[in-house]
Structure 1
């Protein structure tokens, strides 16, 4: 498959996001993802609200919260929501088996909570995000600052080459006031096993391996949509 140009990539993201927003129903509680593709979904959802749709959104980051408020989307705080009808978010990588690698935008903890609360988990991507095996993109790991040295040492024992994320020459700090380590494990033979190992490290709040947290992936390839769903390879 030919690589998309930047312009075509943005158009593909927009197309996938619009398709996902069509799945939102009246009075749904909607999980709002973070990142460039999720931003297109917010705009599309705002357009549907203008046409009379009534929903309440649950933002996965402060950035998303600000954009949703600016677009007039009514919001509920994540910490007070017990169930979400449908969530729409992007991914940095995905496989046909619906294994995801996320967290490039730094919102992985709240994104994972939103996905875990959701009955219908929709992931929207352009075709550049599809891989046969996760791991070309580094695995983000959100960690408590007080456990920084310990967590980095533990990640090294798992074979990861680790670098703390920086932004503008300073340590990147998440919405939860934590650090992110970007860990290069190479191509990951068993993402589920690695996810379990990462979960067992004290001081790790979340990691970017999203296993069993997608119902459907909507991928745009130019002007065409390809849908991958649970228990099937693709359609």
Structure 2
């Protein structure tokens, strides 16, 4: 049986009557002869009363209803139907609440991913700046070295060695010019599209793959 998506199981059971057990002569003899023999205290027999058990869903008012002298089971059917309806309503309420929670979690994850993308871009620009600074420092050292080369070449006597030194110095000057990040207009670096693993350090506990 299903109510608003909630499956409920109804079981119809027959009650049993219990009476005091009257030991038989054989039972008494067996119990006296063997210490492990236990004589039952009660006898059970099927009664003309029924019991309904309801399982599944969130318990509200009751889960079992039985025939009694004051209230036959048929007089309790409306109460049973109401309990099933209440469990269905509770299931629907939980479904909607879970859906709302999932939507809110998705919104929080999307906000976290946007923030992570921003932080990733800032970190990328920072690394780019540090790389430019390192190149600039290395270039400054090369400029100084090329100047020393030029002085050394000028001290050489005219001839092939001096000409080769000048050719080498010309190449080094051109190379250093190409390396120098200050040659040209500084531009914002183009940020590559981040992969999931790129965003992971900036997700602050969230998974970059989804709101799990």
TM-score range, shorter chain: under 0.3
Q: Which structure dedicates a bigger proportion of its chain to helix?
A: 2
Larger Rg, first or second structure (1 or 2):
2
